């Protein structure tokens, strides 16, 4: 059997040239081939057996591959299920961790709020403690020291009002209050202080009063009324309404009257001593009014700063623009012009007296009182 398989394989492996060669052999050899008929009949059976074996092997290989594929798919399915379960577990753990982190954040926020409340309460308690300590020190001082300290503070306020802002009324009120405090002390040095203080009060009372608030209000009202002022270019001549006489009796007089009226309308007389105001466009009209408002606002700022030169210059510029571009026959223009002239004539700078000498005397007297305290009384107060 093995020899037959070998012969078949050798026969199958023959090249085309060998086949041609076998076909080209002489006919004399045919009896020999016919003599081996049993071997030729067994060759197809051998081929069919090989094909069956190959088919069986192919089926077996296909089954093995199918089994391997199914097994692999089953494993992949199991692996996918395991991964899905792990992912679900991971998501669950992640949600739990997020919940825990949110709770931790909420607790930290609550803790921060509590800490802030505690710090606020601590600060309030410290402020109360400092206030109590200050109150204790104030009560520990003598009545005379407390009154002198108040007088010194009032004198400092009055000096600031005079030197920085030039406000006479608040400074005078502060000095009068300081004099009222000194009335409660009966000592020779306080009498000297009251004498100097009364001199400062009299000098302030003799000064002219500058109504800064009133002037500022007037400037605001003028700035608001600028938008309603009529321009001189908007003025139109009004025709003279004369009643024509009755010329029914004399037709020549009627004719002469009509000729005279026509001649009067032909001849037109104008003033040439000053130039005519230019016609303004709507934009120029708007900017003219806004510039006047800015001048009045600048004058108000200069008033508050006690800058008299700037104050007068702004008012003069507003007055010039008013006379050049607005109709001065109208009552509103006349009122505004008179108000501007009145404000420009007002003095906003006043030579304020110097009260530093009185303030220095008060400070020296306060220092004398502090130095005259007993040492055993001042030391415990400092320790506390």
Is residue 5 in a domain?
Answer: no
> Contact, 223 vs 296, CB < 8 A?
yes
DSSP 326: B
Q: How many CA atoms lie within 13 A of 279 on its CB side?
A: 3
Alpha carbons within 13 A on the beta-carbon side of 248: 1
Per the domain annotation, does 170 fall within a domain? Answer: yes
Residue-wise pLDDT for 352-379, tens only, equals: 778 888 888 888 888 887 776 544 344 4
Q: Which residue segment(s) compose the domain that 74 sits in?
A: 51-140
65 lies in the same domain as 87: yes
Tens digit of pLDDT for each residue in 102-156?
A: 888 888 898 889 899 989 889 998 998 888 887 766 665 567 788 888 888 888 8
Place of tokens 């009004």: 238
Residue 300 and residue 227 share a domain: yes
Q: What's the pLDDT score for residue 274?
A: 54
pTM of the entire predicted model: 0.42
Q: Is residue 325 part of a domain?
A: yes
Q: Are residues 173 and 302 in the same domain?
A: no
User: Please, where are the H alpha helices in the chain?
Assistant: 2-12, 16-23, 30-35, 37-140, 143-160, 168-182, 188-206, 212-225, 251-266, 282-304, 308-325, 331-344, 356-371, 375-383
Residue where a domain terminates, one of 140, 160, 194: 140
pLDDT for the residue 318 = 92
Q: Note whether 166 and 291 are same-domain residues.
A: no
Q: Are residues 175 and 289 in the same domain?
A: no
* Domains contained in the chain, number: 3
Q: Token match 């005078």: residue?
A: 172
158 has a pLDDT exceeding 80: yes
Residues 127 and 73 in one domain: yes
């Amino acid at each position: 059997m093995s020899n037959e398989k070998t012969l078949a394989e050798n026969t199958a492996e023959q090249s085309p040239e060998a086949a041609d060669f076998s076909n080209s052999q002489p006919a004399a050899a045919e009896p020999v081939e016919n003599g081996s008929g049993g071997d030729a009949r067994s060759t197809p059976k051998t081929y069919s057996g090989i094909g069956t074996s190959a088919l069986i092997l192919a089926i077996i290989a296909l089954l093995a591959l199918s089994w391997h594929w199914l097994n692999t798919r089953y494993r992949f399915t199991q692996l996918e299920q395991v991964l899905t379960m792990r992912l679900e577990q991971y998501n669950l753990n992640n949600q739990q961790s997020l919940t825990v982190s949110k709770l931790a954040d909420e607790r930290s926020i609550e803790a921060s709020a509590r800490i802030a409340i505690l710090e606020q309460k601590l600060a309030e308690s410290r402020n109360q403690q400092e206030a109590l300590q200050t109150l204790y020190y104030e009560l520990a001082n003598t009545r005379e020291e407390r009154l002198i300290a108040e007088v010194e503070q009032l004198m400092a306020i009055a000096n600031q009002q005079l030197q920085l802002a030039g406000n006479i009324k608040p400074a005078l009120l502060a000095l009068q209050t300081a004099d009222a405090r000194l009335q409660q002390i009966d000592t020779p040095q306080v009498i000297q202080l009251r004498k100097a203080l009364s001199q400062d009060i009299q000098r302030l009372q003799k000064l002219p009063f500058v109504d800064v608030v009133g002037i500022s209000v007037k400037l605001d009202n003028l700035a608001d009324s600028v938008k309603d002022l009529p321009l001189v270019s908007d003025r139109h001549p009004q025709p003279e309404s004369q009643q024509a006489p009755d010329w029914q009796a004399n037709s020549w007089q009627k004719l002469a009257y009509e000729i005279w009226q026509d001649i009067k309308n032909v001849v037109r007389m104008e003033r040439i001593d000053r130039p005519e105001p230019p016609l303004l466009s709507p934009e120029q009209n708007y900017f003219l009014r806004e510039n006047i408002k800015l001048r009045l606002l600048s004058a108000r700022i200069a008033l508050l700063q006690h800058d008299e030169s700037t104050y007068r210059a702004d008012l003069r510029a507003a007055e010039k623009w008013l006379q050049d571009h607005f109709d001065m026959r109208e009552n509103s223009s006349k009122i505004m012009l008179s108000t501007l002239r009145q404000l420009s004539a007002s003095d906003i700078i006043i030579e304020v007296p110097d009260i530093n000498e009185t303030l220095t005397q008060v400070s020296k007297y306060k220092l004398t009182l502090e130095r005259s305290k007993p040492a055993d009384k001042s030391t415990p107060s400092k320790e506390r």
